[in-house]
Amino acid sequence: MPDPRAYPSFWENADGADLFAPDVLAGLEADAAEVLTRYPQKRSALLPLLHLVQSIDGYVSGRGIEWCARKLDLTTAEVSGVATFYTQYKRHPNGEYTIGVCTNTLCAIMGGDQIFDELSAHLGVGHDETTADGKITLERVECNAACDYAPVVMANWEFFDNQTPESAKKLTDDLRSGAEVRPSRGADRVCGFKHISRVLAGFPDGRADEGVGAGPASVEGLQVAHQHGWRAPGEDDSASATRQDTAAGAGTAPQPGQHMSVDTPANPPDTKPGDGDSANGKGQA
Protein backbone atom coordinates (compact mmCIF):
# COMPACT_ATOMS: atom_id res chain seq x y z
CA MET A 1 0.00 0.00 0.00
CA PRO A 2 1.30 3.54 -0.72
CA ASP A 3 2.88 5.45 2.13
CA PRO A 4 0.09 7.67 3.54
CA ARG A 5 2.62 10.44 4.22
CA ALA A 6 3.09 10.85 0.47
CA TYR A 7 -0.57 11.87 0.08
CA PRO A 8 -1.37 14.09 3.08
CA SER A 9 -4.37 15.78 1.47
CA PHE A 10 -6.04 12.37 1.05
CA TRP A 11 -5.40 11.31 4.64
CA GLU A 12 -5.35 14.43 6.83
CA ASN A 13 -8.79 15.97 6.55
CA ALA A 14 -10.78 17.24 9.49
CA ASP A 15 -14.10 15.66 8.58
CA GLY A 16 -12.79 12.76 6.52
CA ALA A 17 -15.18 13.59 3.68
CA ASP A 18 -12.50 13.87 1.01
CA LEU A 19 -10.42 10.84 1.87
CA PHE A 20 -9.85 7.95 -0.47
CA ALA A 21 -10.06 4.79 1.59
CA PRO A 22 -6.66 3.06 1.84
CA ASP A 23 -7.73 0.12 -0.31
CA VAL A 24 -9.21 2.45 -2.95
CA LEU A 25 -6.07 4.56 -3.04
CA ALA A 26 -3.93 1.44 -3.37
CA GLY A 27 -6.04 0.32 -6.33
CA LEU A 28 -5.80 3.73 -7.98
CA GLU A 29 -2.04 3.74 -7.60
CA ALA A 30 -1.70 0.28 -9.12
CA ASP A 31 -3.96 1.15 -12.06
CA ALA A 32 -2.19 4.47 -12.61
CA ALA A 33 1.18 2.73 -12.71
CA GLU A 34 -0.12 0.54 -15.53
CA VAL A 35 -1.57 3.51 -17.42
CA LEU A 36 1.66 5.49 -17.16
CA THR A 37 3.62 2.75 -18.91
CA ARG A 38 1.69 3.57 -22.11
CA TYR A 39 3.02 7.13 -22.43
CA PRO A 40 6.57 8.49 -22.74
CA GLN A 41 5.33 11.81 -21.34
CA LYS A 42 3.40 11.13 -18.15
CA ARG A 43 1.20 14.22 -18.51
CA SER A 44 -0.27 12.50 -21.60
CA ALA A 45 -1.94 10.03 -19.23
CA LEU A 46 -4.33 12.68 -17.90
CA LEU A 47 -7.35 11.65 -20.01
CA PRO A 48 -7.35 7.99 -18.93
CA LEU A 49 -6.65 8.94 -15.32
CA LEU A 50 -9.69 11.22 -15.31
CA HIS A 51 -11.79 8.31 -16.56
CA LEU A 52 -10.22 6.18 -13.84
CA VAL A 53 -11.29 8.69 -11.19
CA GLN A 54 -14.83 8.59 -12.60
CA SER A 55 -14.82 4.81 -12.30
CA ILE A 56 -14.36 5.27 -8.54
CA ASP A 57 -16.39 8.37 -7.69
CA GLY A 58 -18.90 8.39 -10.55
CA TYR A 59 -17.67 11.85 -11.60
CA VAL A 60 -14.45 13.87 -11.57
CA SER A 61 -14.40 14.82 -7.92
CA GLY A 62 -12.26 17.44 -6.22
CA ARG A 63 -10.12 14.73 -4.64
CA GLY A 64 -9.79 13.13 -8.08
CA ILE A 65 -8.57 16.40 -9.57
CA GLU A 66 -5.92 16.73 -6.87
CA TRP A 67 -4.86 13.09 -7.18
CA CYS A 68 -4.38 13.44 -10.95
CA ALA A 69 -2.43 16.66 -10.47
CA ARG A 70 -0.08 15.12 -7.95
CA LYS A 71 0.34 11.98 -10.00
CA LEU A 72 1.29 13.85 -13.18
CA ASP A 73 3.10 16.87 -11.70
CA LEU A 74 0.40 19.22 -12.99
CA THR A 75 -1.48 22.01 -11.29
CA THR A 76 -5.07 21.47 -10.26
CA ALA A 77 -5.96 24.31 -12.65
CA GLU A 78 -4.42 22.38 -15.56
CA VAL A 79 -6.32 19.24 -14.65
CA SER A 80 -9.58 21.14 -14.15
CA GLY A 81 -9.15 22.84 -17.51
CA VAL A 82 -9.11 19.44 -19.23
CA ALA A 83 -11.91 17.99 -17.10
CA THR A 84 -14.22 20.88 -17.97
CA PHE A 85 -13.38 20.82 -21.69
CA TYR A 86 -14.58 17.31 -22.53
CA THR A 87 -18.23 16.44 -22.00
CA GLN A 88 -17.52 12.83 -21.06
CA TYR A 89 -16.03 14.10 -17.80
CA LYS A 90 -18.70 14.99 -15.25
CA ARG A 91 -18.01 17.59 -12.58
CA HIS A 92 -20.95 16.61 -10.38
CA PRO A 93 -22.39 13.21 -9.45
CA ASN A 94 -23.71 11.40 -12.51
CA GLY A 95 -26.44 8.84 -12.83
CA GLU A 96 -25.83 5.14 -13.26
CA TYR A 97 -26.80 5.57 -16.91
CA THR A 98 -26.11 8.59 -19.10
CA ILE A 99 -28.82 8.90 -21.76
CA GLY A 100 -27.57 11.07 -24.61
CA VAL A 101 -30.15 12.19 -27.15
CA CYS A 102 -28.64 13.47 -30.38
CA THR A 103 -30.21 16.81 -31.31
CA ASN A 104 -27.78 17.75 -34.04
CA THR A 105 -29.22 18.63 -37.43
CA LEU A 106 -30.12 15.27 -38.96
CA CYS A 107 -31.26 13.57 -35.76
CA ALA A 108 -33.16 16.70 -34.75
CA ILE A 109 -35.25 16.86 -37.92
CA MET A 110 -35.80 13.10 -37.78
CA GLY A 111 -37.28 13.40 -34.30
CA GLY A 112 -34.39 13.93 -31.87
CA ASP A 113 -35.79 17.18 -30.48
CA GLN A 114 -39.13 15.55 -29.80
CA ILE A 115 -37.45 12.56 -28.16
CA PHE A 116 -35.50 14.83 -25.84
CA ASP A 117 -38.54 16.92 -24.92
CA GLU A 118 -40.70 13.88 -24.19
CA LEU A 119 -37.93 12.13 -22.24
CA SER A 120 -37.35 15.27 -20.22
CA ALA A 121 -41.03 15.41 -19.28
CA HIS A 122 -41.15 11.66 -18.64
CA LEU A 123 -38.12 11.69 -16.35
CA GLY A 124 -38.73 15.08 -14.76
CA VAL A 125 -35.21 16.33 -15.50
CA GLY A 126 -33.55 18.64 -18.01
CA HIS A 127 -30.18 18.64 -19.75
CA ASP A 128 -27.33 17.31 -17.54
CA GLU A 129 -29.73 16.61 -14.70
CA THR A 130 -30.20 13.32 -12.86
CA THR A 131 -33.36 11.60 -11.72
CA ALA A 132 -34.04 11.49 -7.99
CA ASP A 133 -33.28 7.75 -7.84
CA GLY A 134 -29.78 8.40 -9.24
CA LYS A 135 -30.37 6.12 -12.21
CA ILE A 136 -30.58 8.38 -15.26
CA THR A 137 -28.67 11.50 -16.30
CA LEU A 138 -30.23 13.06 -19.40
CA GLU A 139 -28.14 14.94 -21.96
CA ARG A 140 -28.48 16.65 -25.29
CA VAL A 141 -25.50 15.64 -27.41
CA GLU A 142 -24.27 17.31 -30.56
CA CYS A 143 -23.61 14.14 -32.55
CA ASN A 144 -23.61 10.43 -31.82
CA ALA A 145 -21.72 9.75 -35.10
CA ALA A 146 -24.52 7.51 -36.36
CA CYS A 147 -26.46 9.72 -38.77
CA ASP A 148 -27.39 6.70 -40.89
CA TYR A 149 -29.60 5.51 -38.02
CA ALA A 150 -31.15 8.83 -37.04
CA PRO A 151 -32.60 9.59 -34.61
CA VAL A 152 -30.09 7.97 -32.26
CA VAL A 153 -29.98 7.74 -28.48
CA MET A 154 -27.01 6.44 -26.52
CA ALA A 155 -26.97 4.81 -23.08
CA ASN A 156 -23.49 5.00 -21.58
CA TRP A 157 -22.25 5.40 -25.17
CA GLU A 158 -23.94 2.27 -26.50
CA PHE A 159 -26.07 2.78 -29.62
CA PHE A 160 -29.86 2.71 -29.75
CA ASP A 161 -30.80 3.33 -33.36
CA ASN A 162 -33.95 4.58 -35.12
CA GLN A 163 -35.53 5.72 -31.89
CA THR A 164 -38.97 7.15 -31.18
CA PRO A 165 -40.20 8.94 -28.06
CA GLU A 166 -41.94 5.73 -27.00
CA SER A 167 -38.90 3.47 -27.49
CA ALA A 168 -36.64 5.96 -25.71
CA LYS A 169 -38.99 6.14 -22.72
CA LYS A 170 -39.12 2.34 -22.58
CA LEU A 171 -35.31 2.27 -22.67
CA THR A 172 -35.06 4.50 -19.61
CA ASP A 173 -37.83 2.63 -17.80
CA ASP A 174 -36.07 -0.69 -18.39
CA LEU A 175 -32.75 0.67 -17.16
CA ARG A 176 -34.35 2.11 -14.03
CA SER A 177 -36.07 -1.20 -13.29
CA GLY A 178 -32.80 -3.14 -13.47
CA ALA A 179 -33.75 -5.06 -16.61
CA GLU A 180 -30.91 -6.19 -18.88
CA VAL A 181 -30.93 -3.92 -21.91
CA ARG A 182 -29.37 -4.82 -25.27
CA PRO A 183 -28.09 -2.05 -27.58
CA SER A 184 -28.81 -1.99 -31.30
CA ARG A 185 -25.13 -2.52 -32.09
CA GLY A 186 -21.94 -3.21 -30.20
CA ALA A 187 -21.85 -4.80 -26.75
CA ASP A 188 -24.52 -7.31 -25.77
CA ARG A 189 -25.76 -5.23 -22.84
CA VAL A 190 -25.55 -1.78 -21.31
CA CYS A 191 -23.22 -1.55 -18.31
CA GLY A 192 -23.12 1.09 -15.58
CA PHE A 193 -21.39 4.46 -15.85
CA LYS A 194 -18.56 3.53 -13.49
CA HIS A 195 -17.92 0.30 -15.39
CA ILE A 196 -17.74 2.11 -18.73
CA SER A 197 -15.47 4.79 -17.23
CA ARG A 198 -12.95 2.11 -16.32
CA VAL A 199 -13.10 0.74 -19.87
CA LEU A 200 -12.47 4.24 -21.23
CA ALA A 201 -9.48 4.47 -18.90
CA GLY A 202 -7.98 1.63 -20.92
CA PHE A 203 -8.93 -1.47 -18.95
CA PRO A 204 -10.85 -3.75 -21.37
CA ASP A 205 -13.80 -5.74 -20.09
CA GLY A 206 -13.59 -8.39 -22.81
CA ARG A 207 -16.69 -7.21 -24.66
CA ALA A 208 -15.06 -5.44 -27.61
CA ASP A 209 -16.05 -8.11 -30.11
CA GLU A 210 -19.63 -8.56 -28.99
CA GLY A 211 -22.54 -7.77 -31.25
CA VAL A 212 -22.69 -6.03 -34.60
CA GLY A 213 -20.32 -3.25 -35.54
CA ALA A 214 -21.32 -1.47 -38.74
CA GLY A 215 -24.94 -2.25 -39.52
CA PRO A 216 -26.49 -2.52 -43.01
CA ALA A 217 -27.28 1.19 -43.28
CA SER A 218 -23.63 2.08 -42.64
CA VAL A 219 -22.37 0.12 -45.64
CA GLU A 220 -25.32 0.56 -48.01
CA GLY A 221 -23.47 3.06 -50.22
CA LEU A 222 -20.46 0.77 -50.46
CA GLN A 223 -22.66 -2.17 -51.44
CA VAL A 224 -24.38 -0.17 -54.18
CA ALA A 225 -21.01 0.98 -55.52
CA HIS A 226 -19.77 -2.61 -55.66
CA GLN A 227 -22.94 -3.78 -57.41
CA HIS A 228 -22.55 -1.17 -60.13
CA GLY A 229 -18.75 -1.23 -60.38
CA TRP A 230 -18.57 2.45 -59.46
CA ARG A 231 -15.23 4.16 -58.78
CA ALA A 232 -14.22 7.68 -57.95
CA PRO A 233 -14.06 9.86 -61.12
CA GLY A 234 -10.85 9.29 -63.05
CA GLU A 235 -9.65 6.54 -60.74
CA ASP A 236 -8.06 3.34 -62.02
CA ASP A 237 -5.77 0.81 -60.42
CA SER A 238 -2.55 2.51 -61.55
CA ALA A 239 -3.73 5.93 -60.36
CA SER A 240 -4.77 4.46 -57.04
CA ALA A 241 -1.38 2.79 -56.62
CA THR A 242 0.39 6.05 -57.47
CA ARG A 243 -1.58 7.92 -54.84
CA GLN A 244 -0.85 5.26 -52.24
CA ASP A 245 2.87 5.44 -53.01
CA THR A 246 2.80 9.21 -52.77
CA ALA A 247 0.90 9.09 -49.49
CA ALA A 248 3.50 6.70 -48.11
CA GLY A 249 6.29 9.09 -49.06
CA ALA A 250 7.76 6.84 -51.76
CA GLY A 251 10.63 8.49 -53.62
CA THR A 252 10.60 11.52 -51.35
CA ALA A 253 13.56 12.25 -49.14
CA PRO A 254 13.59 14.95 -46.46
CA GLN A 255 15.85 17.92 -47.00
CA PRO A 256 18.81 18.40 -44.64
CA GLY A 257 17.53 19.35 -41.21
CA GLN A 258 13.99 18.21 -42.01
CA HIS A 259 12.12 15.15 -40.83
CA MET A 260 9.13 13.24 -42.15
CA SER A 261 6.37 12.03 -39.86
CA VAL A 262 7.83 8.53 -39.87
CA ASP A 263 11.32 9.50 -38.68
CA THR A 264 10.79 12.53 -36.45
CA PRO A 265 12.62 11.80 -33.18
CA ALA A 266 10.47 11.64 -30.07
CA ASN A 267 11.16 13.72 -27.00
CA PRO A 268 12.85 11.78 -24.21
CA PRO A 269 10.48 10.69 -21.43
CA ASP A 270 8.84 13.55 -19.55
CA THR A 271 10.41 16.36 -21.57
CA LYS A 272 8.56 18.82 -23.74
CA PRO A 273 9.46 20.29 -27.14
CA GLY A 274 11.97 23.09 -26.65
CA ASP A 275 13.47 21.74 -23.46
CA GLY A 276 17.22 22.06 -23.43
CA ASP A 277 19.62 19.10 -23.42
CA SER A 278 16.98 16.73 -24.77
CA ALA A 279 19.59 14.05 -25.27
CA ASN A 280 19.61 13.20 -21.58
CA GLY A 281 15.94 14.03 -21.01
CA LYS A 282 16.60 17.00 -18.74
CA GLY A 283 15.76 20.58 -19.51
CA GLN A 284 18.26 23.36 -18.95
CA ALA A 285 17.63 26.96 -18.16
Dihedral angle computed from the Cα positions of residues 237, 242, 248 and 250, in that order, rounded to the nearest 10 degrees: 140
What pLDDT score was predicted for residue 218?
Answer: 83
Q: What is the pLDDT of residues 156-204, one digit of tens each?
A: 999 999 999 999 999 999 999 999 999 998 889 999 999 999 999 999 9
pLDDT at 86 over 70: yes
pLDDT at 283 over 90: no
Dihedral angle computed from the Cα positions of residues 17, 197, 74 and 271, in that order, rounded to the nearest 10 degrees: 160
Q: What is the pLDDT of residues 128-148, one digit of tens each?
A: 999 999 999 999 998 988 999
Strand order in the sheet with 136-141: 129-130, 136-141, 97-102, 153-155, 158-160
Q: What is the pLDDT of residues 191-222, one digit of tens each?
A: 999 999 999 999 999 888 887 777 788 888 88
Mean pLDDT of the chain: 83
Orientation of helix 22-36 relative to helix 46-57, angle to 10°: 150
Query: b or e along 203-223 (b: 16 or more beta carbons within 10 Å of the residue's beta carbon)?
Result: eeeeeeeebeeeeeeeeeeee
Q: What is the pLDDT of residues 12-47, one digit of tens each?
A: 333 344 678 999 999 999 999 999 999 999 999 999
Q: What is the pLDDT of residues 52-70, one digit of tens each?
A: 999 999 999 999 999 999 9
Q: What is the pLDDT of residues 244-278, one digit of tens each?
A: 444 444 445 555 555 555 555 566 777 766 665 54
> Distance between CA atoms of 184 and 188, rounded to whole angstroms?
9
